[in-house]
């Protein structure tokens, strides 16, 4: 079994932002030489998330609106007394900081409307995304 590890850097520019990292991840899968296996996409951060879904301006705005409505940045969360980003920790905890994809015949398998998206919840920041491709 092969295991190929790569760390990508993604600089965000907004407090809330959705960055399409699909091409970067697919490039890592190509580089890895893995034909059949799995691809882990993991953000080692407590205030960001990884999702696999459509990347279209209206739904992207809706993802951000949903995060704001559900996790309420202005609510007096206890953690806000530390660094004012409780909503980002809560959203990251619930949405998740990783996704796993199948790799088949050298290509990452995903649905037509499943782009791989980094969700910035407390930017702007420099984010790291670990991509590990494992298989034969």
- Residues in touch with Zn ion (CB under 5 A): 83, 85
What is the closest distance, in whole angstroms, from the C-beta atom of residue 99 to Zn ion in the complex? 23
Q: Which is nearer to Zn ion, 115 or 122 (CB)?
A: 122
What is the closest distance, in whole angstroms, from the C-beta atom of residue 41 to Zn ion in the complex? 23
131 near 32, Cβ under 8 Å?
no
Q: Which is nearer to Zn ion, 32 or 85 (CB)?
A: 85
Q: Which residues contact 132 (CB under 8 A, 6 or more apart)?
A: 3, 4, 5, 6, 39, 40, 42
What is the closest distance, in whole angstroms, from the C-beta atom of residue 83 to Zn ion in the complex? 4
Q: In angstroms, rounded to a whole number, what is the distance separating the alpha carbons of residues 43 and 73?
A: 21
What is the closest distance, in whole angstroms, from the C-beta atom of residue 80 to Zn ion in the complex? 8
Q: Which is nearer to Zn ion, 16 or 101 (CB)?
A: 16
Dihedrals phi, psi of 19, to nearest 5 degrees: -115, 125
85 near 75, Cβ under 8 Å?
no
């Amino acid at each position: 079994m092969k295991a190929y590890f790569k760390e990508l850097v993604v600089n965000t520019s907004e407090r809330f932002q959705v960055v399409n990292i699909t091409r970067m991840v697919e490039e890592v899968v190509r580089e890895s030489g893995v034909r059949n296996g799995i691809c882990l996409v993991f953000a080692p951060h407590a205030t960001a998330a990884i999702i696999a879904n459509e990347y279209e301006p209206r739904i992207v705005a809706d993802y951000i609106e949903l995060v704001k409505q559900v996790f309420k940045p202005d609510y007096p969360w206890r953690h806000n007394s530390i660094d004012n980003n409780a909503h980002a920790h809560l959203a990251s905890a619930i949405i998740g900081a990783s996704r796993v994809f199948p790799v088949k015949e050298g290509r990452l398998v995903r649905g037509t409307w499943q782009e791989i998206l980094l969700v910035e919840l407390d930017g702007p920041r420099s984010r790291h995304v670990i991509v590990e491709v494992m298989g034969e």
